Structure 1
Amino acid sequence: MFQNILDAITGENGNSKKLKSDGDQSMKVKGTVVLMKKNVLDFNDFHSSVLDGLHELLGHGVSLQLISAEKSDPAGRIHFVCNSWVYPAKHYKNDRIFFSNKPYLPEKTPEPLRKYREEELANLRGHGKEKDELQEWDRVYDYACYNDLGEPDKGPKFVRPILGGSAEYPYPRRGRTGRKATKSDPSCETRHPLLLSLNVYVPRDERFGHLRMADFLAYALKAIPQFIEPELRELCDKTPNEFDSFADVLKLYEGGIELPGGPQLENIRKNIPSQVLKEIFRTDGEQLFKFPMPQIIKEDKSAWRTDEEFAREMLAGVNPVLIRRLEAFPPKSKLDRRLYGDQNSSITEEHIKHNLDGLTAAEAIKNNRLYILDHHDCLMPYLRRINTTSTKIYASRTLLFLKDDGTLKPLAIELSLPHPEGDEFGADSKVYTPAEDGVKACIWQLAKAYVGVNDSGYHQLVSHWLHTHAAMEPFVIATNRNLSVLHPIHKLLHPHFRDTMNINALARQTLINACGALESTVFPARYSLEFSSTLYKSWVFTDEALPEELVKRGVAVKDPKSKHGVRLLIEDYPYAVDGLEIWSAIREWVEQYCLCYYETDETVQKDTEIQAWWKEIREQGHGDLKDEPWWPKMQTREDLIQSCTIIVWVASALHAAINFGQYPFGGYLPNRPSISRRFMPEEGTPEYEELKSNPEKAFFKTITPQLQTLLGISLIEILSRHATDEVYLGQRDTPEWTADAKPLQAFEEFGKKLVKIEEKIIEMNRDEKLKNRVGPAKMPYTLLVPSSEGGLTGRGIPNSISI
């Protein structure tokens, strides 16, 4: 039995077959049908070949019927891009429908196709299956809250709040699976056992292709803590569970960590699938954990420790979307004073005046020279709960000064805790300033590490997961439910949704779930997803447009005379410079495409599918924010063009910029620690004396321990890899994705423009005057270079959020 009709082409050389026409008259056409075996994704058959030819259909009861949309030359060529899995007819109430690659707006659809267009959308909405558990052959796109992260039947340790559907915990919706309720809490959904994690429901066409699945399994299983954590913990406890020096950490990349033999090692090997053993252990007989060399230490092993590199990564690192211009000094808090007292900053001019190059703080503000990396307000409400666990963190503010050479230098770091006498008394804060010698230099290094912990967690949970993965899933669902595959906007957006629902489902199953990999490796631990929910309250769809986002953070100002409509206040801001080039190219392409089909604003208003699509995104997909005034009204061509541009930008370039640098920057954990385990040593304590006598050991006793380091860098290595079958921005997986010539020409021009942008980025990276593009670590900024090969490259913009 064959499951997948990948591509059916009529009218070109190939096998001939009698097919039924709409009038039930026989006619002979030539065509090719490409098929894939059902077991191509079975774990024991990764390398099954793709079989083609109609002879494979003989005896299997498969019939094809051509429905004519309009009278045409029977010798003409019709192209069907199917790319879909087909199950036996007993699983379907209706025949499967595949449309040719000719797009139509709803009102311009040929009459013979209209009922099929409507029927197909009804099937995808799952009529009659609203309460059923969805099966692998179902093609239903529907919404659900995040009520499957916890496992209350296992006990209180595994209980997590439901995200979405409440004012307390608002969240984007996920794809519905319909699994039965847990016994302990009927509002929560049961979860698959770990070994069935890959079987969590998503519509079958959203699942990974066989090459991507092979890639994913080859790397991903080694990061699932439940497979290996008990044995690793025992081994690490005997090492013991600490790195003693930076040299110890370097062994992870230069020689590997030696694992003792005996029953513990055999338990690890037995609990890991054989196909990934070779990825965890070296194959030369040595019992070692070994990882690729992260780019941040490839050229210089100590440059990451410099203040210049610490600051540069806020502009050209893995989380370059948080730094903002300081508009008032000292920094002010927006937390409710009735609940949290005075949370304004305790940084004074005395702390920073010697580093302002002769300016006062007021002058530096006026001249746009002061900037801040602010993790204070988002963390302060969570500190009491988080710090009752083994984690010990601060709410932090980092002030920076823009120097004449275009680089930033840190001025001060403020570390704050809730007041010991109660939240209403405000913050208990201390301010640390740069130092180069003695114990003060060690304390400054620790202060930067606490900031790195905060930024690492915020990046993973908010910048990465919430703002790209979770925020995009409702758009994937709504598009499939409301825009026919015949719709031009479906054809525009579909490549940018590839694999997103699949990777998000796997994340819910093994990564962001209660006691999963993420909770094990980032500082909020059990509060991780709950923390991200509080930040969703301030998510604004229209602010995801890069120019607006930069202006909102104060790092750019609107300027109609500038190429991109904004002028950067930090001219050498690699993420923003490269991002604006990519944004403008996407915007121009989307505009050209949309104008091919929408001649007036009225065309948008009368497009019933577009209006239903946008209404459902607002009211269901992002239903907890449905009443926000910033949603576009979808009444003009500009509304449509800007909204589609934002969707493409977030799914491609934004995700690439904040995802594929995770291992290059964070694969060396001292540069971006994810956990801190004790507070800053106070003078007169044994910890302070240890810091003076052995600063490296004290540093590693503070940040991520050995076990979480192994798990954490295994995880981000997977997330930072490109699949071998990746499709990048400016590319399509089939050249005949549309039959319309003008969009094809515009897309070709889009691809050429991206090539020129790539050349420009490489050229800027060679310009020594642009100091933020390479930095002390000699690590060029390439995260927004459009193209890439497969693997761990630190560059490349895939079309979609696929990892």
Structure 2
Amino acid sequence: MPNYTVTVATGTQWFAGTDDYIYLTLMGTEGCSERTLLDKPLYNDFERGAVDSYDVTVGEDLGEIELVKIEKKKYWVQDDWYCKYITVKTPYGDYIEFPCFRWLVDDKEVVLRDGRARLPQHDKKAGVAKQHRHKELEQRQKTYRWKEWHPGFPMSIDAKAHSELPRDIQFDSEKGVDFVLNYSKALSFIFGTQMKIFLLKSESFLSLHWKQHYHFQGPERIENLYVNQFMHMFQSSWGDFADFERIFMRIKNTISEYVMEHWKEDFMFGYQFLNGCNPVVIRKCTEIPDKFPITQKLVEASLERGLTLEEELKEGNIFIADYELMDGVTANATDPCTLQYLAAPICLLYKNSQNKIMPVAIQLGQTPGEDNPIFLPTDDEYDWMLAKIWVRSSDFHVHQTVTHLLRTHLISEVFGIAMFRQLPAVHPVFKLLLPHIRFTIAINTKAREQLICECGLFDKANGTGGGGHVELVQRSMKTFTYKSLIFPEAIKERGMDSKEDLPYYFYRDDGCRVWEAVTSFVADVVNIYYEKDETVQEDEEIQAFVKDVCSFGMQDFDQCEFPKSLQTKEQLVEYLTIVIFTASAQHASVNFGQFDWCSWIPNSPPTMRKPPPTKKGEVDLKYIVESLPDRGRSCWHLGAVWALSQFQENELFLGMYPDEHFIEKPVKEAMVQFRKNLGEVTKVIKNRNEGKKLPYYYLSPDRIPNSVAV
């Protein structure tokens, strides 16, 4: 009687093992095996990280094994199981791999195809394999449903909480715990510092009140007195910049400390437009807008080359950062005790003779007038300082809500949902993209549940909380285009593509290197499965995927110009490169520098508590400090930027594919070449950074996680 050897691998993540009953059925072209319980007496099967082998004896030849069915049945209590893969060795010496990499929950079954990737047109129309992929997609479309979180937003997953998500896309236990621990760690540092400051400042207060209250009211009254005094101080303004430094020094790093030391300097202000957290706002200025009435007389003291402003414009030395998107956004009013304010500044920047980008003029509103002065480097020290702080605060809001949330998190979720809905596990594009949407839907669901929801972290700490962040996304969606996700095109559209004009724009240089490496890898994989352009056109599943992204995920917004179909291999390569690059490199470039650049509060205030100045000469240091976030909002902000900037334990970086969804040798060779190309990029960046006080490493491939997962 024919004998098959079946090997089953259990995952290594927490709680991957199971004590439930596991049954297996082999399904071949000539017949099926009996439903077989996989069990070895006196042996604990399916432990975490285990690889178990079993003999399955059948009465007759099954022919070519097409599918493997796994069933899990409750033993005592429901016990989820994570299966990595199954291999089958046939009586004839054939060795067939069945990748799984999914959870089996409740009394559910999973039917697996072998690991060879297949396009839909390559399966027989009436065959078992064709039926399997159709059934898989039908089930997925019931499980992964679109939902509109807010009007005008990209669509998201239909789940109110992380616990409602399909088990396969939830965080691994340790992944979720790491995020909580990182956030708690930051807060413990911060609140610990606050308590020390409180005790020092309250020593005389406590000694005075101890004698007065202890004898008559007892120790509980004294404890309440301490707490009330602490909370009052916690909600109060800082005394000066030295107060900020006390809280900051507990969790600083090399770059953040450098920022703290140099944040007042114009070169540091300008540098951040190129290589800070939000290096996507600055653009070359070819004509001064009417709403920003800059004259030669206003800026001539800042122009170094002896050229007029008009001549500097023609030479390509003038740049602009316009925060028009912020104009009229509703400021946070969730705390009736604290007024908060927003601005929509315009900043003119100049490339000096040392190729540094320097601010030369700032207007804090979009409408010129006497109550909207243009601030200059030649103004009073505090006028100029506060104007720059307002720009940095506005930049923080645009970064968090548009650059980071919308253009990496939300758009990656759209790609991920559409992928699950329209591409079966056997499709090569599913295998290619799956590592790059890992945990993305989960982190976004957690964000909607805890961070950007009503009374979430945004409401506690940010000037755009209470609904302003929603308005920003809705406004940004009106100008969001598919083309803007093509990294080289986005750089070119802003006039920032010339290395001669801007030799120190590392975000551009490193991003283009990584984009080229991803494009080359995607092209290698596409060429393996798509012989010609017609193969792309005939792939009904890839066409459904692209259409689902546009028509449902992006709600068919005409201005977005997302394609509804792909006609050529080149278009497919570009599309898949966008998905991978956005989820990996682009997210890394705007996420993991948040603590570096935003932890020193005066450099990136999450809110402002006084309105923008309408006149010059009325600002002093006390006014500036009272404009900045209070102690409580500063602590919430610091905890957030710390947690968001941390890599997770066992992080998977770009090019790392430990789950072998692909079994074909040509794809594995393409992965090896991809890692080699990425290694070369890493080496270039490492060499450039050596000895630099401000290294730029956010787009170094060894620091780019595969997916949006934090």
TM-score (norm 2): 0.81
C-alpha separation between the residues in 2 aligned to 1:299 and 1:706? 22
State the Cα distance separating 1:672 from its structure 2 match.
Answer: 1.1
For 2:430, the aligned partner's letter is H
C-alpha separation between the residues in 2 aligned to 1:652 and 1:310? 27
Which residue of the partner structure matches residue 454 of structure 2?
514
Q: Taking structure 1 as reference, are residues 232 and 172 closer, same or farther at Cα in structure 2, changes over 3 Å only?
A: farther
Which residue of the partner structure matches residue 584 of structure 1?
516
C-alpha separation between the residues in 2 aligned to 1:670 and 1:628? 36
Instruction: Pick from 276, 287, 309 the counterpart of residue 361 of structure 1.
Output: 309
C-alpha separation between the residues in 1 aligned to 2:426 and 2:585? 26
Instruction: Pick from 427, 430, 433 the counterpart of residue 373 of structure 2.
Output: 430
State the Cα distance separating 1:247 from its structure 2 match.
Answer: 1.9
State the Cα distance separating 1:551 from its structure 2 match.
Answer: 1.0
Structure 2 residue 359 is the aligned partner of structure 1 residue 410: yes
Instruction: Pick from 477, 484, 488 the counterpart of residue 417 of structure 2.
Output: 477
Residues 550 and 562, structure 2, Cα contact 8 Å, conserved in 1? no
Q: Map residues 254-333 of structure 1 onto 2, 5 A cutoff.
A: 254=249, 291-299=250-258, 301-329=260-288, 331-332=289-290
Residues 23 and 38, structure 2, Cα contact 8 Å, conserved in 1? yes
Which residue of the partner structure matches residue 611 of structure 2?
679
- Count of aligned pairs: 630
Q: Map residues 440-455 of structure 1 onto 2, 5 A cutoff.
A: 440-455=380-395
Instruction: Pick from 158, 171, 181 the counterpart of residue 176 of structure 1.
Output: 158
C-alpha separation between the residues in 1 aligned to 2:275 and 2:179? 28
Which residue of the partner structure matches residue 98 of structure 2?
80
Which residue of the partner structure matches residue 206 of structure 1?
169
C-alpha separation between the residues in 2 aligned to 1:34 and 1:534? 57
Say which is worse superposed, 511-520 or 579-588, in terms of deviation: 511-520
C-alpha separation between the residues in 2 aligned to 1:405 and 1:588? 36
Which residue of the partner structure matches residue 536 of structure 1?
477
Residues 417 and 428, structure 1, Cα contact 8 Å, conserved in 2? no
Residues 326 and 344, structure 2, Cα contact 8 Å, conserved in 1? yes
Residues 17 and 30, structure 1, Cα contact 8 Å, conserved in 2? yes
Instruction: Pick from 445, 454, 457 the counterpart of residue 397 of structure 2.
Output: 457
State the Cα distance separating 1:18 from its structure 2 match.
Answer: 8.1
C-alpha separation between the residues in 2 aligned to 1:546 and 1:525? 30
Q: Taking structure 1 as reference, are residues 19 and 328 closer, same or farther at Cα in structure 2, changes over 3 Å only?
A: same
For 1:114, the aligned partner's letter is K
- Which structure 1 residue ranges, 5 or more long, are not aligned? 8-15, 38-48, 127-139, 147-162, 165-169, 178-190, 192-196, 255-290, 333-343, 420-425, 558-566, 768-773, 788-795
Q: Map residues 632-651 of structure 1 onto 2, 5 A cutoff.
A: 633-651=565-583
Which residue of the partner structure matches residue 602 of structure 1?
534
Q: Taking structure 1 as reference, are residues 233 and 480 closer, same or farther at Cα in structure 2, changes over 3 Å only?
A: farther
For 2:121, the aligned partner's letter is E
Q: Map residues 498-509 of structure 1 onto 2, 5 A cutoff.
A: 498-509=438-449
C-alpha separation between the residues in 2 aligned to 1:762 and 1:684? 45
Give the secondary-structure state (helix, strand or coil) at the position aligned to 1:801: coil
Q: Taking structure 1 as reference, are residues 70 and 515 closer, same or farther at Cα in structure 2, changes over 3 Å only?
A: closer
For 2:246, the aligned partner's letter is K
Which residue of the partner structure matches residue 561 of structure 1?
none
Which residue of the partner structure matches residue 219 of structure 1?
182
Which residue of the partner structure matches residue 4 of structure 2?
none
Deviations 1:86-128 (A, max 9, x none): 1232xx5xx42223321011111363322111111111111xx
Structure 2 residue 652 is the aligned partner of structure 1 residue 727: yes
Residues 488 and 512, structure 2, Cα contact 8 Å, conserved in 1? yes
- Which structure 2 residue ranges, 5 or more long, are not aligned? 1-8, 13-21, 55-70, 195-223
Q: Taking structure 1 as reference, are residues 301 and 73 closer, same or farther at Cα in structure 2, changes over 3 Å only?
A: same
For 1:742, the aligned partner's letter is P
Which residue of the partner structure matches residue 699 of structure 1?
624
For 1:76, the aligned partner's letter is D
State the Cα distance separating 1:224 from its structure 2 match.
Answer: 10
For 2:678, the aligned partner's letter is L
C-alpha separation between the residues in 1 aligned to 2:371 and 2:44? 67
C-alpha separation between the residues in 1 aligned to 2:392 and 2:227? 26
Q: Map residues 84-99 of structure 1 onto 2, 5 A cutoff.
A: 84-89=102-107, 92=108, 95-99=109-113
State the Cα distance separating 1:474 from its structure 2 match.
Answer: 1.3
Q: Taking structure 1 as reference, are residues 643 and 417 closer, same or farther at Cα in structure 2, changes over 3 Å only?
A: closer
Deviations 1:600-643 (A, max 9, x none): 11000000101111111111111141575463641111111101
C-alpha separation between the residues in 2 aligned to 1:64 and 1:308? 52
Deviations 1:295-318 (A, max 9, x none): 334357421221101100111111
Which residue of the partner structure matches residue 320 of structure 2?
372
State the Cα distance separating 1:394 from its structure 2 match.
Answer: 2.4
Give the secondary-structure state (helix, strand or coil) at the position aligned to 2:97: strand
C-alpha separation between the residues in 1 aligned to 2:485 and 2:568? 19
Q: Map residues 652-691 of structure 1 onto 2, 5 A cutoff.
A: 652-680=584-612, 688=619, 691=620
Deviations 1:692-735 (A, max 9, x none): xxx2x33221111110000011011111111012111011122x
Residues 386 and 524, structure 1, Cα contact 8 Å, conserved in 2? no
Coordinate RMSD, CA, aligned:
3.8
Residues 5 and 85, structure 1, Cα contact 8 Å, conserved in 2? no
Identity level (%): 26
C-alpha separation between the residues in 1 aligned to 2:538 and 2:44? 38
Deviations 1:766-796 (A, max 9, x none): 38xxxxxx5xxx2211111111xxxxxxxx1
Residues 82 and 103, structure 2, Cα contact 8 Å, conserved in 1? no
C-alpha separation between the residues in 2 aligned to 1:684 and 1:453? 19
Give the secondary-structure state (helix, strand or coil) at the position aligned to 1:318: coil
C-alpha separation between the residues in 1 aligned to 2:227 and 2:657? 43
C-alpha separation between the residues in 2 aligned to 1:141 and 1:450? 42
Deviations 1:180-223 (A, max 9, x none): xxxxxxxxxxx6xxxxx653x22211111122122123134678
Q: Taking structure 1 as reference, are residues 489 and 384 closer, same or farther at Cα in structure 2, changes over 3 Å only?
A: closer
Which residue of the partner structure matches residue 107 of structure 1?
121
Residues 390 and 612, structure 2, Cα contact 8 Å, conserved in 1? no
Say which is worse superposed, 214-223 or 739-748, in terms of deviation: 214-223
C-alpha separation between the residues in 2 aligned to 1:443 and 1:392? 17
For 2:487, the aligned partner's letter is L
Larger radius of gyration: 2
C-alpha separation between the residues in 1 aligned to 2:397 and 2:167? 33
Give the secondary-structure state (helix, strand or coil) at the position aligned to 2:488: helix
Q: Taking structure 1 as reference, are residues 112 and 633 closer, same or farther at Cα in structure 2, changes over 3 Å only?
A: closer
Which residue of the partner structure matches residue 129 of structure 1?
none
Residues 80 and 100, structure 1, Cα contact 8 Å, conserved in 2? yes
Give the secondary-structure state (helix, strand or coil) at the position aligned to 2:359: strand
State the Cα distance separating 1:480 from its structure 2 match.
Answer: 0.6
State the Cα distance separating 1:53 from its structure 2 match.
Answer: 3.8
Residues 285 and 319, structure 2, Cα contact 8 Å, conserved in 1? yes
Residues 574 and 781, structure 1, Cα contact 8 Å, conserved in 2? yes
Which residue of the partner structure matches residue 117 of structure 1?
133
Deviations 1:7-51 (A, max 9, x none): 9xxxxxxxx9985443134699999999878xxxxxxxxxxx655
Q: Taking structure 1 as reference, are residues 683 and 461 closer, same or farther at Cα in structure 2, changes over 3 Å only?
A: closer
C-alpha separation between the residues in 2 aligned to 1:73 and 1:637? 41
Deviations 1:516-568 (A, max 9, x none): 101222222222112211111111112211110011111126xxxxxxxxx66
C-alpha separation between the residues in 2 aligned to 1:650 and 1:307? 31
Give the secondary-structure state (helix, strand or coil) at the position aligned to 1:615: helix
For 2:327, the aligned partner's letter is M
C-alpha separation between the residues in 1 aligned to 2:387 and 2:555? 40
C-alpha separation between the residues in 2 aligned to 1:374 and 1:103? 47
C-alpha separation between the residues in 2 aligned to 1:675 and 1:64? 44
For 1:293, the aligned partner's letter is K
Which residue of the partner structure matches residue 342 of structure 2?
393
State the Cα distance separating 1:395 from its structure 2 match.
Answer: 1.6
State the Cα distance separating 1:382 from its structure 2 match.
Answer: 2.6
Q: Taking structure 1 as reference, are residues 122 and 82 closer, same or farther at Cα in structure 2, changes over 3 Å only?
A: same
TM-score (norm 1): 0.72
